[in-house]
């Protein structure tokens, strides 16, 4: 007697949802697919406005959205943004009710690189000299890198906007570090602020 595989009696909504998630996962993994940031909304029924949303990007606004109850879970990088949100420090005027539920470990550091010819050796030098740096930061401006960069500057008595007021430039650019390093070599920019610095 031949045995037949058991039938899958999963509800169609379950099958469609799993299929949509699998398709999205495959698309996000394609090298030439431009849309990589995911927001996943799980609802009880079609046309419901409420549900549970997972915000899959790493930008700082995810903390605000969790705090406001707009999303159930968000991811953030670098983790210092979560710490500031939890403590109500930096750009957060009050603590946000957020918690870390897991960490995806990576050798992920934030760094400031500046041309030797500027004579700058510290953040304090920038503040003291009101140096009009030509800065390149991973953009857009709402990116967590820009937020952390500005907070690091504020800890030394100035802001990214101050650099512009002193005659410098702050460019928010795509995360293409090698193209930006070439611009440093041609002295088009003097400073790179970025994260995921491991090479």
pLDDT at 194 over 70: yes
Longest dimension (CA), the chain: 88
- In this structure, what token pair is assigned to residue 178? 């090698």
Task: Enter the pTM of the model.
Answer: 0.74
Provide the CB-side half-sphere exposure for 62 (13 A, CA): 25
Please name each of the domains of the chain with its CATH number: 12-87 (no CATH), 111-194 (3.40.190.10)
State the DSSP H helix or E strand holding residue 192, giving kind and residue range, or none if neither: strand 191-194
Across 4-13, 21-30, 163-172, least confident range: 4-13
Q: Tell me the pLDDT band of 145, cut-offs 50, 70 and 90.
A: confident
CA distance 174 to 180: 9
Segment 17-69, tens digit of pLDDT: 999 999 999 998 898 889 888 889 998 888 888 889 998 877 888 888 899 98
**Which of 87, 82, 59, 86 is CA-nearest to residue 146?**
59
Q: What distance in Å separates the CA atoms of residue 9 and residue 6, rounded to the nearest whole number?
A: 9
Sheet holding 39-42, edge to edge: 39-42, 52-55, 73-74
> Tell me: the pLDDT tens digits for 92-110?
999 999 988 888 877 777 8
Question: What is the per-residue DSSP string for 118-173?
Answer: G---SHHHHHHHT---EEEEESSTTSHHHHHHHHHHHTTT--HHHHHHTT-EEEEE
Yes or no: say if 73 and 66 are a contact pair by the CB < 8 Å rule: yes
Which residue is listed with tokens 């760094």? 111
Host H or E run for residue 73: strand 73-74
CA atoms within 13 A on the CB side of 10: 9
Cα distance between residue 60 and residue 64, in whole Å: 7
């Amino acid at each position: 007697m031949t045995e037949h595989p058991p039938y899958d009696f999963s509800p169609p909504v379950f099958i469609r949802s799993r299929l949509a998630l699998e398709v999205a996962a495959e698309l996000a993994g394609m090298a030439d697919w431009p849309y990589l940031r995911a927001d996943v909304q799980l609802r009880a029924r079609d046309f419901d406005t409420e549900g549970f949303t997972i915000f899959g990007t790493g930008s700082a606004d995810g903390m605000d959205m969790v705090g406001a109850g707009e999303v159930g879970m968000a991811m953030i990088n670098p983790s210092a943004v979560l710490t500031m949100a939890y403590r109500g420090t930096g750009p957060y005027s009050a603590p946000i009710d957020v918690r870390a539920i897991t960490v995806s470990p990576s050798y992920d550091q934030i760094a400031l690189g500046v041309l030797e010819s500027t004579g700058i050796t510290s953040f304090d030098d920038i503040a003291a000299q009101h140096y009009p740096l030509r800065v390149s930061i991973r953009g857009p401006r709402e990116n967590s890198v820009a937020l952390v960069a500005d907070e690091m500057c504020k800890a030394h008595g100035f802001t990214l906007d101050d650099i512009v007021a002193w005659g410098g430039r702050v460019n928010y650019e795509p995360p293409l570090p090698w193209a930006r390093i070439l611009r440093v070599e041609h002295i088009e920019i003097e400073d790179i602020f970025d994260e995921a610095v491991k090479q």
